[in-house]
Chains A and B, each alone.
Chain A
Amino acid sequence: MAEVRIENLVKVFPNGTRAVNDVSLAAPDGEFLVLLGPSGCGKTTTLRCVAGLERQTSGDIYIGERVVNDLPPGERDIAFVFQFYALYPHLSAYDNIAFPLRAVGVAADEIDRRVMRVAETLRIKHVLRKRPRSMSSGEQQRVALGRAVIRRPQVFLMDEPLTNLDAALRSDMRVELKHLQRELGVTTLYVTHDQTEAMTMGERIAVMQLGDLQQVGTPLEVYQYPATLFVASFIGDPPMNLIPVTLEGDALQGASGHLSLALAPDVAGAIRQKQSGPGLVLGVRAEDITLSGGDEGDMRGEVTTREPLGDQALYSVGLDGQFIQITTAPTTRFGVGDAISLSIDRSRMRVFDAATERALV
C-alpha cells in the first residue's frame, strides 16, 4: 500500500484545453479520497494522469516514494476501474478477472485459486462462465472490480464506477465498495460527479471546478465550511443560500434594507482586513436559519412556498429578488404570504469575497 501525492499537476491538451490547472493533492496510505466536481472539471483527467493513461504537461506524481511521471500504467502498480467497466467483450467473467494475472504469466493453478477467492468475495461465482454481454450491469460492475482487486495493487483508481447502475443498486454498491476498500486497506482515488456518493464514501473530498482544486476536506468540513462560492453552491441539497451583502459598520447589509446582520467586532474586523472590494456574499445553510412570526430577526420576508417533506418542511422566502431556502421542523405552520422574520446562526455562517469567490470567515 502506498500514499499518492500529486504536486502542481498541469494538463493541457493538444487542442489548448487546460483540463487540470496546478493541482496539488495527497492521499495518505489507505485513504478513500473522492475527486468531486461537475463534468469537465478535470477530475477524470487528474485520475488518468495518476494512472499514466495521460501524460501530464507539468508537475509530479508520486506513488509511495516513487516518482511515476515517466512510468507506463503497467509499472505503476495500480488498478483502474473504468466508468463503462471496459471488460473484454470476448472473454468470460473468469477470463476477465484472470487477465491481469495471465498478462504477467502467473501459473494456472494460482490464477484459479485467486479468481475463485475474488469471485467469492464479490459474490459473482455464478457468472464466471458468462460473457459481459449476458451479464447485468451490476454483475459487470463486480467483475470489473474483481479484475481490479485480484492483483492487490498499491492504489485503486476508480472513474465513476457506479454511474451506470440504477439507483437502488447504486446505494447497495456504495456500501459494499466502501467495505471492500476498508477491508483491503488500499489507497483509493475515486472520481464522481455525484455529491451523495462523495459524502457517503469519501474519507476526504477534493472538490474541483474548471481544472482548479477548490477545497479538500472531510465531507462535513466541505459541507459546513465551503472554501469557495462554487463549493457552497455545489455541495448540499438544497445548496447553501448565497446572499449579496456589504459590510457597513459592524453589520452586513442586504441590498434593499430587508437584511441587517450585526456581527461581533472581531469578525467584522477580520472581514474588513481580508476583503478585496466592497462586494461580499453571505452563505448560510437552510437548516441554520430559524423562522419566527415577530420582528426581531436578521431578515424580513414573505413565505413564497412551503414544501412539507415529512421529516422536515422546506420554506422559500423571497428576498430582494432571490429565494432563501429554509428547512425547519415539520411542525412549523407558516402559510404562503405570511410575513416572517429569519434569524441566522452566526456560528455556522460563511462570508465570501464576491470578487475572489473565496471564504473570508
Chain B
Amino acid sequence: MTTQSITPETTRPAAKPGLRLRWLSDRLLAGTFLAPTLLLLLFITIFPLIWSLYLSFTSYNVNSDPSWLEAKWVGVDNYVYMLTTPRVWERFIESATFVVPTVTLEFLLGFGIALLFNREFKGRGLITTVILIPMMVAPLVAGLFWRFMFQADIGIVNYLIHDVLGFQPVFWLTDRTSAMISLIIVDTWQWTPFIFLISLAGLTAVPKYLYEAADVDRASTWFKFRHITLPLVWPLLLIGIIFRLMDAYKLFELAWVLTSGGPGTRVLPVHLYKIAFGDFATGRASALGYIMLVVIIALANLLVRAINRSRAAEV
C-alpha cells in the first residue's frame, strides 16, 4: 500500500512555489473572468427589469416629469387601471385573435409538411433549405415587402385577385378583418418553417425499426401515427409551440410595419408601445408590461408542465 502511494508523487514534477498567488483561488479567478459579462447583463436586463417594476407603481411620465426620483408613488393604481380599462381587454382579445390562429396554422402546416418530408426523395435537402428561407429574413424586411405586395392598388396580390382571376380587390391592410388576416398570413409564412424544422428533427429521430416492428405487428398507418409517431414527437412539438406562442404574443415589428397598429391589428405590444411612447405614460406602460409578462409566464408554465408530463411518462 505504502509503496503504491509513493510512486505517483515522486513522478509528478514539483510545483514551482513562487508562481502561484495564494489568495487567487480558482473560484475567484472564474469570477473575475465572468464579471464583465455579468455586469453587462445586470446593466442591460436585470436593472431595467427592476427599474420598470418600480416605475409601474408610480405615475412617472418620461416626457413631463423632470426626474424619475420625483415620480409619485401610486401603489397598484396603474395595475387596477390597466386591468379595468375595457380597451386593454380588447387588446388582449385582439392579441389572442392573432396568436391562436397563427400558432395553430403554423403548427398544422409545419408538422404537415414535415410529415411529407419524412422520407427520401430527390432534392429533399435543397427543398428543405428553400423552405427555411422565410425564417432567415428579418421580420422588419419581411413586413416591408409584404406591405408592398398587399398594397390595395399596386400590390401583386390584388393584381392576381382582380386582374388575373377577376374577383373584387381586397383592402388588405386597411379593413379591420383583412388586416388581421394579412398579419396572420405573413407571420405564418415566416414562422411555419420553424415548426417544420422542429417537427422534422423529431420525426427523423424516431428509429425506423419501430415502424418495422409495427408493420410486422399489423398496425395500420393511422395506428402507427397515433401510437408511435405522435407520442414520440410530441414533447419536441410542444417546445416548438411554446417558442411560437411566446414569440407571437410579443409580436411588434410585423404589425408596426404592415399597419402601424391600425384598425384590427393593434396587438398588445403595439398598444404598449403607444402608451409608452405616444402618451408617454411610462408608469402605466410598465404596469401593462408586467401584466403581459405574468400572462406569458403562466402560459409557458402550463406547457412546460405538459412537456414534463410526457417526458416523465417515458422513463
Contacts and interface: CB of A to CB of B under 8 A. Distances in A.
A74 B218 contact: yes
Contact of A90 (B213, B216, B218, B314): B314
B313 A103 contact: no
Contacts of A73: 212, 215-216
B167 to A, nearest CB: 47
Given A89-B232, A99-B219, A103-B218, A82 B315 contact: no
B209 A84 contact: yes
Contact of B219 (A74, A79, A134, A151): A74
A137 to B, nearest CB: 16
Contact of A103 (B207, B220, B232, B315): B220
B215 A90 contact: no
Contact of A74 (B209, B216, B227, B313): B216
Contacts of A89: 232, 314
Interface string A82-100: 1010101111000000011
Contacts of B231: 90
A90 B220 CA distance: 19
Contacts of A99: 214, 217, 219, 227
A74 B212 CA distance: 10
A147 interface: yes
A147 B213 CA distance: 10
Interface string A185-221: 0000000000000000000000000000000000000
Given A90-B231, A90-B232, A131-B314, A104 B213 contact: no
A104 to B, nearest CB: 5
A102 B227 CA distance: 10
B295 interface: no
A263 interface: no
B228 to A, nearest CB: 6
Contacts of B227: 88, 91, 99, 102-103
A86 B213 contact: yes
A53 B211 CA distance: 10
B216 A51 contact: yes
Interface in A14-60: 51-53
Interface in B283-315: 313-315
A133 B220 CA distance: 26
Interface residues of B, number: 20
Contacts of B215: 52-53, 72-74
Interface in B103-144: none
Contacts of B93: none
A53 B232 contact: no
B220 A53 contact: no
A80 interface: yes
Interface residue SS majority, chain B? helix
B313 A90 contact: yes
A89 to B, nearest CB: 6
A78 interface: yes
A80 B314 contact: no
Contacts of A86: 207, 209-210, 212-213
Contacts of A72: 215
Nearest to B219: A103
Nearest to A76: B216
A100 B223 CA distance: 11
A15 to B, nearest CB: 13
A134 B210 CA distance: 18
Given A80-B213, A86-B212, A90-B314, A100 B218 contact: yes
B314 A74 contact: no
A327 B314 CA distance: 54
A99 B217 CA distance: 7
A53 B314 contact: no
Given A86-B212, A89-B232, A90-B231, A100 B217 contact: yes
Nearest to B212: A53
A8 B237 CA distance: 47
B147 to A, nearest CB: 46
A131 B214 CA distance: 17
A103 B314 contact: no
A85 to B, nearest CB: 9
Interface in A119-152: 131, 133-134, 147, 151
B216 A79 contact: yes
B214 A103 contact: yes
Nearest to A148: B216
Nearest to B234: A90
A133 B314 CA distance: 8
Contacts of A131: 314-315
B227 to A, nearest CB: 8
Nearest to A54: B212
A86 B208 CA distance: 9
Contacts of B216: 51, 53, 73-74, 78-80
Nearest to A134: B315
A131 B231 CA distance: 14
A87 to B, nearest CB: 8
A157 B216 CA distance: 10
Contacts of B314: 89-90, 131, 133
A102 B231 CA distance: 16
Contacts of B212: 53, 73, 80, 82, 86
Interface string B37-49: 0000000000000
A328 to B, nearest CB: 44
Contacts of A51: 216
Contacts of B315: 131, 133-134
Contacts of A133: 314-315
A31 to B, nearest CB: 20
Given A86-B209, A133-B314, 20 more contacts: A52-B215, A53-B216, A73-B215, A74-B216, A74-B219, A79-B216, A80-B213, A82-B209, A88-B210, A88-B227, A90-B313, A99-B214, A99-B217, A99-B219, A100-B217, A102-B223, A102-B227, A103-B218, A103-B220, A147-B217
Q: Which 4 A-B pairs have the closest CB atoms?
A: A74-B218, A100-B217, A103-B219, A86-B213
10 contacts: A74-B216, A74-B218, A74-B219, A80-B212, A82-B209, A86-B207, A86-B210, A103-B218, A103-B227, A134-B315
